[in-house]
Structure formats: C-alpha cells, structure tokens
Structure 1
Amino acid sequence: MLDLDSCTAPRKEYFEIPGKNQVQFSIPSELSICQSFDLVPTTSENLEFTLIAPDGTQEVKPAGEPLVINQAGKHKIIGKPLTASDLCPTSKEFNVVLVDPVEFEPILVREDCFGNRTYEAEIFGRDPENLLFTWYNEKDEIVSEGIQLIPISTGLFKLDVQSKNSEACPIPPKEFIIQEPVLEVEVSLSSTKLCELKPSATISFETTFEEEVTDIYWRRFEESGEITLLLEFKDSTQITVDVPGIYEASAFSFIPEIGKVGPTGIGCELGRNSIEVDVTPNRVTFQIPETLSICETYEFSPETNQDLDFTVTYPDGEIVTKASTETFILNQEGIYTFFWI
C-alpha cells in the first residue's frame, strides 16, 4: 500500500482458517480385566480403530468388532473414518490393570439325615466381599448369588465366581452333580447252618447303595430278652457266630466332616434287618476208621454219599480243606480231626 509520499507501509489483517471436526467415540479411562477382554469402543460413526498395546503391537478393527486386550499398562486407541471424510482422527489413552482369576471349587459342607444339603464355594483364602457368586440349577436358572447354596432340586449344577472390581474372566463355570439323596437302603442277611459240634454259622450282610453305608452295627437278642451289642463285628459284612439267637445288622451313614452325625451321634440310620440262627439237629453222615496203620504216606477220603467239603486238622496243627471227591495225604503219626463244612 502506498501513502501520499509513495512509501510502502505495513497493514495488519486477521482472517480465520476453519478446522475440521474430529471423529467421536468413547472408551473407559481405566479397565480392570482378568486374563483378556474384548473392548468395543462406543460410537455411532463409521470408523476404524487401531489399538496400540504397551509392547507396541497393533490391532486394527472396524467399529463394532472387539479389540482384544491382554496386557497391563497404558494403551492407545486411534479412531479414524473408515471411508473418505472431512473428519479428523481422534486418539485416546487408557490404563489396564490385570486381575488374577479366582480359584474356586463347589464343595458339600453340610448334610442332615433328611437329605437337606448345603454347598459352599471354596475360595482358598480370598475375601468373599470382593467376589461375585452365581449358582445355576439344572435348568440354568440362577438360584443363589451368595457364597452358599441350599439346593431344592437335583441334577447338573454350575458355579461361577468372579472378582467384583474387574471385567469377568473368560473361564466357564464349574459343573457339579447333585444326586438324589439316599435316605434308606435295603438290608438282607443270610446265614449258614449252626451245628452242635461245628462248624460255626456265618452270617452275610448285603445292602443296596453300598457306597452310602459307612458303618455297620451288629446286635444279638438273647432268649432272656437281653440285647448284646457286638462291637467286635462293627463294619463287618460277614461274621462268624457260635451262639444261637436273633442277630440284627444296622446300616448307618456317618460323615462328621459335613455334620452328618444323626440324633444319636453315630450317623443317620439307613436300614436294618435281623435273622434267627438256631442249632440245626441235622447232621451229615460220613465214615472214617477209628485207627489206620499206614506206611509212610496214605491217600484217604472219608466215605459219604453227600456232596461235602471237609476240613482236616493234622497232628502237627496244619489245617487242610478239600471236597469229598478229593483225597487227603496222611503222612504223620497221631490224631487227625475231620469236620464237615
């Protein structure tokens, strides 16, 4: 510009250069995650996101698809238009904290004689106040959100435990089976014959649901009305007796570690049965000579027309059992005692 004297003089003039708008999206400023987390930035625009992890690795995904986060530390996300646009990219940073997964197990902690049970999440020293518990029943319905579960049904149950202040761990819930409670078993007793001279009678115990029976108690009812508790036979499924009478066996479930002790303190009774053992007047018949003269060894078998087994006690105390169709080798001097069994 020239003034009146034809001199050049400066002049200041302002004008505005409009800036472009930036793309819009939102992410949390801090994340607590367990192992890994799929982050989907929130936006209504058609964008492409680049995730830059603390170790420098990059992952590019279009809007709506998850970006996998599995490192602790500062992360950066850059959002830019997926197609040609007047919008400028936006860069945002956020911090990631890695949280250890919760170690847990569903365990049975209490059961009574009526089949009522209580399960608990074993969390190995973790503070339950910092955890979220979710129990699912056989229909996949949530039935408890506390550390304990008192089920009212049976089947395949599941337990999920997560940290309160972090995103959920990508670990499936733990499954466990709740069986129908066994409140009663059938007890059956059978006995061999009790003979006047021998052998003793053998009483055998059998039951349904054997795995549920932890304790077996035996009693004998005397003719006088007295009841004798046979503690020497406790938990035996087969006993040998020499005294006639009525013998009774009772089956119990005793698991003190879950409080299954019953009203008497010896467990929950599941079943009982009794059997009468009498001395049989019938005797088997077999013949043996009163004396035998042998030369070194002799093969001998008692004479009988019955299918029997014999037990022979040799002079030196050795006991040998054979069928009546077999022979005994007699090779000692002295008294041999033959019993039918």
Structure 2
Amino acid sequence: MITILDQDFSQLNQFLSERTFSKIFILVDENTHEYCLPILLGNLETETAIEILEVEPGEEMKNIQTANQLWEILTEMQADRKALMINLGGGVITDMGGFVASTYKRGIQFINIPTTLLSICDASIGGKTGIDLMNYKNMVGTFAFPEQIFAYPRFLDTLPAKELKSGFAEMLKHGLIADKKHWDDLILLQHLDAVGIEPYIKQSMEIKQEVVHGDFHEKNVRKTLNFGHTIGHAIESLCLSTGNLILHGEAVAMGMICEAHLSYLEGLISEEDSELIIEQIARYFCYIDITDFKEEDIFSLLLNDKKNADAKINFSLLNGIGSCVFDQQCTTENIQKSLNYYKKLSGF
C-alpha cells in the first residue's frame, strides 16, 4: 500500500506497466506544478496519454465548486472508468483528488503521491477523501482507498519550514496516541528540517496505517487519530471563515495542547504528563491568538464535529503517553477550562 520511491521512480513505473489505463490525469496545485511535476514527468515511463489538472493552492480551494470544475473537466476530456487519477500534492490535493476520483462515474482508480510532510505521514494514508462545506472541515467525502501511495521524501526539500512543522504535528500525534518511543524519539529533535525528520517518517506512516487497517470506517479505534482535531478543527474553521488562514498542523498542535489539558481535567492522565506534553509541543509551535473568537462560535463548531453522536461532543483523549481513548464526552466546564488554559499560556 505504501511505497518509498527510489531516485528513478522504478516502483511507480512498474505499477503502471502492470496495469492498463485509458488515460492518466495528474492533479496538481500551482506549487506542485512548479516544484514536483517536472521531477515526476522526468521519471515517468508510460505510453498512456497524460493530462495535467491544475488548481489554485490552499485549503480555501477544497470545496464543492472546485470539485465540480474537476468533474466537468474530466467529462469534457472524456475520462472513462479505466482512467487513473494521480494526486500529486499535499493534503488538500490528496483529500480532494481522492474525493473527485472516488465519485466520478461512481469511481475511477487513483493513487497518491504526497509532497508535504503532512500528506506523507497523515493525509494521504487511510482512505479518507473529502472537501470542506461552509467552512466545516471535510464535511463531505468518501471512504476510498487509493490503489497505492508512493512517497518520495526528496520532495520535502522543496518545502518551507512552516510546512515541515505542520506535518510534524501529526507525527507527534501518532507518537502520543500509539507509540511512546516514537514520541520520545521525535522530541529529541532540536531543529526541524527534512534531513532530521526523514528517519522517522516511515514509522509515523506505519503507525497510522496500522490504526486504519484495524478500523477502516472509523467505528472505534480509528477515532484515536482525531486527538487534537476536535478543538483544532474548530479553530482552523474559524480562521478559515475570517480569512486569517492557519496551517492544519498549527491548528492540530493548538488542539493537542487543549486536549492534553482536557485529558488531565477528565482524570485520564496526570498533571505532570499533561504539562510535559504541552511543554514539548510548545517548543515547536507558536501559540495562536484565539481571544477574538466567541466561545459560542467555538462550541457551535464543536457540536458539528463528525465524531459526535446524540448531539454530544465526542473527544479522543490521552490516557497515557502512547495511549488514547475515544468517545469521551467531557463536561462543558472542562472544555471551557481547557480553552481558557490555552489563552493563559499564549499570553495574548
């Protein structure tokens, strides 16, 4: 399912040679068109006709309007059910490209070639596709596995530092919810760069893949992957609605700080462990100013979270470093306390 590509992309070329596709569509954004597509095309060995589909970059483009444009283009180019979609990009591209492919003509095959740390370690893995709706994250989507995921770590050399940090947040999360050693190894990193992070990428990918394989449709244990995302998604959505965009990993880091403190307030971990986790996350991520967001707006988004049931907010919380429990329904008072705790720490 997951393959680390060599320098000449031989595994991808073998994949294409063993299958017959009517046409190949490569979905990119403006950034991956410039920095990554030339590398892919320079190594691609296929006689199949190739078409490039380009969208503007950014989370704000992950919507039904963009998806509709892509469906229309595929139709105009007479894409049939034997076509292949290659999603070359970060989480927005793999999420949206997978959604478009899995719904066009009731599904065409697609593969993911993630180009950011976030998409390599998290977004491209697991078979979740989706688009945003009314500033709510991933509200419309499908469960659809890509035929294959091909990761090429050298793409990380093209990333700005803030994009590496964004993906690093998900790696930290994988350690916190499932593998204490992975967490311990990651927090030893003094500086975040592609060379330092690369040795830990495969382990992070495998942690997520193992969780997903145990619960593809997110009925139980897969929910643990949402640690940090309940509050994080709410803040990310509010930032999106105001035009003051933040990266997904920045929102997750903020969410993990709040939800680590919430884990303590709910009696699941010790105050010492909570403070240790928060201290380490804060080493890598700046605090986000949430003072202008109304509490009722935050709670409105929390109540619309996809994990909820019976109009109750469900959290995935830590019950140890390297261990997580799901479907935790917390008191409103403790949720408020966790948000106020974050505001106090941030000093805004």
Higher RCO structure, 1 or 2 (CA under 8 Å, sep 6+): 2
Larger-gyration structure (1/2): 1
What TM-score results when the alignment is normalised by the length of structure 1? 0.21
What TM-score results when the alignment is normalised by the length of structure 2? 0.21
